[in-house]
């Protein structure tokens, strides 16, 4: 199993602190949190002598592939990270199914948004394949009082309709969406290429450390071992730039995944 740390906790002046992570740990950046020039200057510092994988989280804060609009313009924006992807040998590219949902969508409006998102995922998958980019699609949570656009059934249906598509399963988003994480692990198996691991209390997307919320990590580890033993594990915490946090949590997950005492 391989471990990566998300740049979510290191945005701004703390970004250089990621260079202090153990060299066998990977680094995942949020594309929107820096310009292309910024990443081309910062990544040589972060990735120097690093054996851990590099990955890119594509635009998600200011991009919503489920909204009506100019699809070609969206495709161009989604493709902008490709140069950095190849220059720094990224392992995969993360795409959200949708952005933040407005309240009070009708069932018909939600279905229309899902159809738009599916069409664009398929179109972007074609561009990724043509550009030798490994695409993984991530489940997205709703908000208090706002259900997720893609329920568990809807999310799994994406992978039925696009049989070559790979998944990134976000544990925190799944908790908020009342998804059965174990069932998704069993259903998608090796198509789960990576995880975003973080915890919450089930009411908000808190990006807490594992063990500080309601996720059953022992159960997650058992199904990781059984169904997704090669998936990348990305710690996606917020407000935790301390290197020791990630070292401790890597040791813990290694222990429960491998049954080490």
Helix axes 181-188 and 152-161, enclosed angle (nearest 10)? 10
DSSP 8-state code for residue 66: T
pLDDT given at position 144: 84
Helix axes 107-130 and 71-79, enclosed angle (nearest 10)? 50
Residues listed for the chain: 261
CB 139 within 8 A of CB 169: yes
pLDDT given at position 17: 98
User: Which two structure tokens, joined as six digits, stand for 188?
Assistant: 């998608």
Domain boundaries of the chain, sorted by first residue: 3-258
pLDDT given at position 36: 97
pLDDT given at position 145: 84
One CATH from 3.40.630.10, 2.40.30.110, 3.20.20.150, 3.40.50.300 for 3-258:
3.20.20.150
Place of tokens 């656009």: 149
pLDDT given at position 143: 87
- Tell me the mean pLDDT per 10 residues along the chain, length 261: 98 97 98 97 98 98 94 97 99 98 94 98 99 99 92 98 99 97 99 99 95 98 98 98 98 93 51
The residues near 34 (Cβ < 8 Å, ≥ 6 apart) are: 15, 42
DSSP three-state, residue 84: helix
> C-alpha distances in angstroms, 113 versus 15, 36, 59, 64, 105?
35, 30, 18, 10, 10
What are 94's strand-pairing partners? 57, 136
């Amino acid at each position: 199993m391989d471990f990566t740390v998300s740049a979510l906790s290191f945005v701004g002046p703390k970004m250089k602190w990621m260079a202090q992570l153990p060299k066998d740990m990977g680094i995942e950046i949020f594309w929107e949190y820096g310009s292309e020039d910024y990443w081309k200057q910062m990544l040589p510092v972060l990735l120097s002598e690093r054996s851990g994988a590099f990955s890119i989280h594509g635009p998600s804060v200011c991009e919503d592939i489920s909204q009506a609009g100019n699809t070609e313009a969206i495709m161009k924006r989604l493709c902008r990270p490709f140069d950095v992807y190849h220059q720094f040998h990224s392992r995969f590219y993360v795409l959200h199914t949708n952005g933040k949902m407005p309240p009070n969508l009708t069932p018909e409006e939600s279905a229309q948004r899902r159809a738009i998102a599916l069409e664009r995922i398929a179109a972007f998958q074609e561009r990724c394949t043509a550009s030798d980019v490994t695409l993984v699609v991530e489940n997205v949570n709703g908000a208090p009082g706002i259900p997720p656009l893609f329920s568990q059934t809807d999310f799994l249906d994406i992978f039925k309709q696009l049989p070559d598509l790979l998944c990134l399963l976000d544990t925190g988003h799944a908790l908020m969406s009342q998804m059965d994480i174990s069932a998704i692990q069993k259903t998608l198996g090796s198509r789960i290429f990576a995880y975003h691991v973080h915890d919450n209390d089930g009411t908000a997307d808190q990006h807490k450390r594992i063990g500080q919320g309601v996720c059953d990590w022992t159960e997650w580890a058992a199904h990781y071992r059984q169904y997704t033993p090669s998936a990348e594990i990305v710690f996606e915490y917020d407000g935790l730039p301390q290197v020791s946090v990630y070292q401790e949590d890597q040791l813990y997950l290694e222990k429960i995944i491998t049954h080490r005492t």
